[in-house]
Structures are given as C-alpha cells and as structure tokens.
Structure 1
C-alpha cells in the first residue's frame, strides 16, 4: 500500500500518512546495531602492522641482486594484496632490474 494524503480534522491541512509495517523482531536482536571502537586495540594493531612492514622491508634487503627471488617476493606481495604499502620500492626495484641490461638469453631467465 502506498502513502496516502489525508485531511487533518483539527486544522484542515492535509498530511501524508504512510502505512506502518508490523515486522517480527529480528533473530539477531540488536547485536549489529551496537558498535564500540576500542582505540587501544586499533593502536596495538597499527604497531603490529608497522613491525610487519619493517620485516618485509628487511626481506627485500636480504634478497640483494637475486632477480628471481626478488621477483617472487614482489609477486607474493601482489597476490597477498599488500603491495600498495611498498609501491615506491617495488617500482624502484623493477626499474633497476630492467636497467641492468643482463644477458636474458640465459636459460635461468627463460619463461
């Protein structure tokens, strides 16, 4: 049923009256309505994330000039969906590898 226009008897003005639905109570109650934001927990997670970022940065440094291992690390970061944290460094590494001008005829780098 759609909203209807009804004349108010006391002052003669018309009002829009919408039908009221009588839904049964939710099975979930108000569990998803209430939300609390624990800043201590968020700060704890932020510190842990920064530590993990530094650990990944350290992994890049230990890879050295080993192109295959570094490319595998970049691929893993991309697949995990966290490469956006390291976009600048990944771009720098890819440009560095491109500019090395190695002999790519070697079978080790063959696709």
Structure 2
C-alpha cells in the first residue's frame, strides 16, 4: 500500500472516531497493514466506520479487507468450488496419508 493511502485511511478513522493517533500506534498499524492493496484498504476503512462502534483494531480492518477481496474475487468469477470426493478417491487419499504417517514414525 502507498503510504499516502494509509495516511488518508487513518485520517478518515481518526475523524470518524474523534481520536488522535500516536506515532507509535500509527507505526503498529502501518507495520501490520502495509502489505494490503490501496483501494480495498479504503473500502475496509469505510466498512469499519459503518459497522464498528469503537476505533477498529488491526484485526477488524483485516477482516473487512478480506471480505472486500472475497467480494472482488466472486465478482470476477474467481470463486473456487470444491467437488466432494467419491468414496474411492477418499479411500485412496486416506491410505496415502496413513502410509505417510507410518513412514514418519519408524
């Protein structure tokens, strides 16, 4: 994420919750959120303001970010569907797992 986007998001949160952030708190949030993408981060910030009674934690912002990324993947048709395995395939995988466990315990 671009540092200016981060500052914009944190300023939005500060204004919404009437809370000044210390340099230390901002540094922790930056350390934990810097790897996020700009636009979905700002969506997460707005979602947090709309749903959180108190200033959101890093974990809460990440949850809203994950929700936004999931929504984007679904809209792009990138939803992964898993087919249930039939009994034969399940037995094959289970047997392989058992053999692996036996090899590691010897």
Q: Flag whether TM exceeds 0.5 (same fold).
A: no
Would you tell me which structure has more strand in proportion to its own residues?
1
RCO comparison, higher one (Cα < 8 Å, 6+) = 2
| TM superposition score normalised by structure 2 | 0.28
| TM superposition score normalised by structure 1 | 0.27
Would you tell me which structure has more helix in proportion to its own residues?
2
**Over alpha carbons, which structure has the higher Rg?**
1
